[in-house]
Structure 1
Amino acid sequence: MATILARYVDWILLATRPVWAVLMERTGLSRSSVAKWIAWLHAHDLLGAVTRGSLPQYRPGTHGGTVDDGRGAVAAEYVLTIPTPSDADVTDEVDGPVEETRTPSGSPPRGEPLALRAREAQTRPGGANTAPPSRTWSLAATVGSKTDALAAAEALRAASLDLRRISARHVRHLLTPFFAAGWTASDVLHALDHRTDGAPWPYAGMARRVPGWTRHRLAPWLDASGRPLPSKSQRMAAAAVDQRARQRAWREELEAQHARSLGGPRIFAPRMPRAEALAPAPAPATRPTAPTQAYRDARAALNARLAARP
């Protein structure tokens, strides 16, 4: 699997993005087996995900595929990595059978030595950094108190593999000025992965020192006085306000043009209530009419014939 991924590497971006259909064709494996091996490479730090594959109907912001974001089907993009000597004690055996009937939902467990190191890290002084994260905070919510900031930090640890290696309190300490400036957890994740112009940071593997890496990634998002710049969500909100203001000005100019051409403002009829507009039209009332002269003549002739009968 790693060999096939290496054959499709872009040596400029240093990333590989073959679709799963190609992987299945080249390896002769089923879809579940391809998923198993990719999960195994992820679990052993031999493969990193730069961009996750997605379809328009499942991507956020497309309303189930009804809104075209112009991206189409996005293929997953990976980078191959070289394990460090500290990972040499990880077992090379694949846990469980290779052929499965479904795509595995998680990574296979690692070898026992790594699990022992994880338990030792939790029991050493300051080992709270390795506590499992939990996401009980919305990534799109703003922070209003220290408790909210701690919950947002936990959500960030659940979403970021790098931030997961330090404690939630440490994450909150690093992000205090950004939370105070109205940033959301989603804004922080965007700033960690993108520069201020929207260009993504190149993938360089797992961060060696998470606090320094975090400060380095967030430094471009600070002004000369050290205050956070407007975040992605704040920029989008300001752009939406500006768009609505320009639309309102456009409508006012259009009304002024109509007023000049018609000699006054346009007057529209009052709108009907929705229930009244959708109600069926009432049947027209019919009134009885007097019989015509032809009907009277025919009736008189019929009565004369009836009277002439014996």
Structure 2
Amino acid sequence: MARNAGKWLRAFKHHPVVSKLPRRTRRPLKAFVKWLINQNNPKTMTVSFTRQAAMDYFRVSRRTVDYWVFRLRFFGLLASIASGRSARYAPKGQPTTDLAPVYTFTIPDPDHKLFGNPDLIDTESIHCTPSPVRESKTSWVKTGTQKISYQTLCARAYARYARQHRASLESKRQQLFPAHAQKAEASQLKHLARCLQHHSPADLRRIALEPILAETTLLFRAGWQIADILHALETRPDGSRWDTSGSGGMRSVQAWLRLRLKAWIKDSRPLIAPSELKAQADTARKAEQARQRAQAAAELKQSAPKDSPARVAVRRKTAIIRCGSEQAARNQHPELFESA
């Protein structure tokens, strides 16, 4: 933090990046800095102003004022203490007045990367009024042969931090709360049971969620899907269909659900899911088809030698196409036309 405005003004003038800015950019930025010094509170070394006040004083657009503030903050010469707030966003019970943001003057560290490498900033792309095609707060940082915006670098750094932070929280949660994994599994089972109620006939929609969980938890833990349970409610393990459809004639829907699913459980262990059985059958069928195709191709290759009439005819047509005419093919490949 700067002790006085004069020291801060000298830091601005001798900043390595500011000195390399074009004249058309440095002059209005310097005028804005002097205006900030006039708005400065010498006791607290803070400045509070609205964007509209700066726009009226310099006769510029809001994008230009935002650009100046962003540049000073990026150079390490300005720091935000409190953000502004419009009157229409004031909480209930508080005065509906516009609150201006509060900034403080700062002097950048000499060890900052911009001091040692001022060429990191592309000064040719810095203008007083940014182009409407490009974001007003975009600054470009050279990284080798590629130019990446400063906002992109910040977003990538924050994304890396967020991933590491979430992983750290999850590991701590697993250590401090051993029951967290059980709660997550219970939540997932409830979600599957609700989906089963949604996709099932009207029978399961007439009962609560707890009876459905009691009968389907074992199957869901074994890897069964909702389609597998719906198939098991209408079909036996041997592929035959049940005599009745739905829970009609049963004393309760839960008893019907228990009876139908019990047929797919043997020795307290669920059988292979119907979808998995179908996938295994499809894999075996495709393997058998591939074996039959390979066997047929091998038999065809053995039954048709190189001098067979069909192969000679194909080679003859190929030679005619390659040579351009039948006479040229006869001259270059007479062996193909001996039997013709």
Check whether TM > 0.5: no
Q: Which has the higher helix share?
A: 2
Structure number, greater radius of gyration: 2
- TM (normalized to structure 1)? 0.35
